[in-house]
Chain A
Amino acid sequence: MRRFVILFPVLLLALFAFQLTPPGQALVVPWTELVADTSAGLVRTFDGDARSMGKVLFSERTGFAVSIEAGCNGVEAMLVLLAGILAFPAPWRLKLIGLAIGVVAIQALNIVRIVSLFYLGQWDAKWFEWAHLYIWQSLIMLDALIVWLLWIRAVAQAPQPSAQA
């Protein structure tokens, strides 16, 4: 337990600081653009009126646009989950499985967040602000927490390898 309590904040702070540096941004920016592109593709599937340009998702019909900034690309939640999984004592195979499932779970919900905000913003600015600033922020972190809780249950029940020194 002590190891986790020390390791988790250290890892999280290191990962968080890294993603703000130029090499970190070299990963985050294309990722954010991919998120915008995927969101635009999903919206187009349903009503055909969305395009993305860089990290901006916009409607050609209404001119409404949302820019996917830090905090809206799911990166922070992924970093929290990454630090939580790396800091927790578990075999590497299970850590990698947890990370893969976690990334999918967080990003899938994040796409839902962006698409919902895209429509909400065209409907009502006040509700957009509420959902953007408070509701979705909480839901994405809740998503990461649930994945992590389920993962540590799975780790606890996994067959134990032979004891290591």
Chain B
Amino acid sequence: MESGRRRILAGAATALALLPVFLAIWYVAAIPLAWIPGKAALPVIRVASGGAATMALKGRELVYTVKLEMPYRPGGVPRVAAEVEVAAAKYTYGIALFLALALAMRQSRRPVPILMGVVILVVLPAFGIAFDALKQLGATRGLPPFLAWGTAMREAVALGYQAGTLLLPTLAPVAIWLVVGRDVWLPPAFAGGSRAT
């Protein structure tokens, strides 16, 4: 077998062996890890909902309390408060995949890029968490009149939720690893940008 191919398969096998170890470590650290993207998601939730939002950790769940108001009308200002729970672990487990990949191959075992990758992967789940909370707010009975979202906003929330749930958690660690470990995969001709399509 060609050496490059053998190196990739050996690296993949090592990553596979490391993955359960890092998933176990991640699971232990998942609660404090949830706090950072949870807080980072707050401004997005506030701006998109147009209300006041606070966050609390309840077990492994992030609980967002959102208070919304409608413009003044005779009889007072209509107010409503809603609580939505987001399972943050669904968005942060990519850290384990990234560490397994990064440490599996010698060419990507570079401490500073790995640390930077981990920092990005701690903050990035804020995207999925924010859109998960917004999707739930949009589906909460009685809330849509307070949110006053148009069709475009509802579509954007749906797309953001799908991308944040289905793509980002696994794609982000792989994409960051491709940057950190580009010596593993980048063919010399491609690196030089000289290939014709």
Interface positions of A (Cβ within 8 A of B): 1-2, 12-13, 16-17, 20, 70-71, 76, 80, 88-91, 133-135, 137-142, 145-146, 149-150, 152-153, 155-157, 161, 163-164
Closest chain B residue to A20, Cβ basis? B162
* Range, interface on chain B: 35 or more
Chain A residue numbers with a CB within 8 Å of B97 are 138, 141-142
Give B16 Cβ to nearest chain A Cβ, in Å. 7
Chain B residues with Cβ below 8 Å from A90 are: 195, 197
Distance in angstroms between the alpha carbons of A1 and B190 in the assembled complex: 7
Interchain nearest-CB distance for B11 vs A (Å) = 9
The distance from the CB of B36 to the nearest CB of chain A, in whole angstroms, is 19
Q: Are B167 and A164 in contact (CB under 8 A)?
A: no
| Inter-chain contacts of A155 with B (CB < 8 A) | 187
Interface hit among B2-10, B118-126, B132-140 = B2-10
Give chain B's interface secondary structure class: helix
Q: A80-B171, A141-B97 are in contact. Are A89 and B195 (CB under 8 A)?
A: yes
A-B contacts, CB under 8 A, total: 98
Tell whether B19 is near chain A: CB-to-CB under 8 Å.
Answer: yes
A153 close to B159 (CB less than 8 A): no
CA distance A141 to B183 in the complex (A): 20
The one of A13, A89, A146, A161 that contacts B9, using a Cβ cutoff of 8 Å: A146
Q: State which of B38-46, B48-56, B67-75, B88-96 sits at the interface with chain A.
A: B88-96
A141, B170: Cβ atoms closer than 8 Å: yes
A134-B23, A164-B197 as given contacts; A76 in contact with B15, CB under 8 Å: no
Is B152 in contact with chain A by the CB < 8 A criterion?
A: no
Q: Are A16 and B4 in contact (CB under 8 A)?
A: no
Q: What is the bound-complex CA distance between A142 and B23, given in angstroms?
A: 14
Q: Given that A70-B162, A89-B197 are contacting pairs, would A16 and B167 also be in contact in the complex, using a CB cutoff of 8 Å?
A: yes
